[in-house]
Amino acid sequence: MIDSLGLICQTNGDRGDTPCRMGPVIAQQFTQFVMSDHDFIGAAQKHLQVRHGVYIRDPDKWNQPSDFSRDQASRLMLGFFIAGQSHLAWVYYTLAFKNWCRHQNGDLIGFTEWANIIRGMGFWFLYPLLWLFDLGFLFNVLVGVRLQPWDIDNLFVPDLYFSQYKYNTLPAFIATMAYDKQSAAVRLQANLSNDNGNNGCLEALNANLYFLGKLP
């Protein structure tokens, strides 16, 4: 649901996962070249960035920078990367690097998140490291979907798409081939459809299904 501030929130109006929901939608709009009345990047900068490079989940209830987690940051920053707004993500990650590679809530930068940074910033000279970081995709599709079936797909499907179209590696390719996309679609529906009243978000669901459908 898109609220009065132009932010994407859950069907019940809660904005606790708004950055997590907005990232894939921003990425989808750019990838599909969709013209929209909604400037989600602008809304995120206006309502979710409280000072340069520092973000919150929600300008009302979830408004403490210390609550901004890896799950929220990785999705929003990936959206910025895919949308060609790498400078916005770089400001955020520069602060994270200074914080001992931790997000605002103390979460460490994730394994495949490092891959997003390399791809998003165009650091081609770090390509050999992608072979290491992309092993995280293999873990996600073979193990992670069993350990965390309720929302794991939402946390790596757009990333896996990104890996196929920029600096692809053998681990990322194998992960894509091994990924059970039919089961993933079922999990995404269960997690993000309006039937899940506490978590549903059709915009995020459609974005994730779009990127799932773009995988080989």
Residue with tokens 């809660």: 14
Instruction: Summarize pLDDT for 118-148 with one digit per residue, the tens.
Output: 999 999 999 999 999 999 999 999 999 999 9
12 belongs to a structural domain: no
What are the backbone dihedrals phi and psi of residue 118, each rounded to the nearest 5 degrees, phi first?
A: -60, -45
8 belongs to a structural domain: no
11 belongs to a structural domain: no
For residue 92, what are the domain limits? 18-214
Please, which pLDDT band fits residue 35 given cuts at 50, 70 and 90?
Answer: low
pLDDT at residue 33, rounded to an integer: 77
9 belongs to a structural domain: no
205 belongs to a structural domain: yes
Instruction: Summarize pLDDT for 76-114 with one digit per residue, the tens.
Output: 999 999 999 999 999 999 999 999 999 999 999 999 999
Please, which pLDDT band fits residue 44 given cuts at 50, 70 and 90?
Answer: very high
Contacts of residue 69, defined as CB under 8 A and 6 or more positions apart, other chains included, come to 103, 104, 105, 107
Tally the domains of the chain: 1
Q: Is 178 exposed, middle or buried (0-12, 13-18, 19+ CB in 10 A)?
A: exposed
Instruction: Summarize pLDDT for 157-175 with one digit per residue, the tens.
Output: 999 999 999 999 999 999 9
92 belongs to a structural domain: yes
Structure tokens of 197? 């009243």
13 belongs to a structural domain: no
Please tell me the pTM assigned to this model: 0.95
Measured CA to CA, the distance from residue 102 to residue 109 in angstroms comes to: 6
Please, which pLDDT band fits residue 37 given cuts at 50, 70 and 90?
Answer: low
6 belongs to a structural domain: no
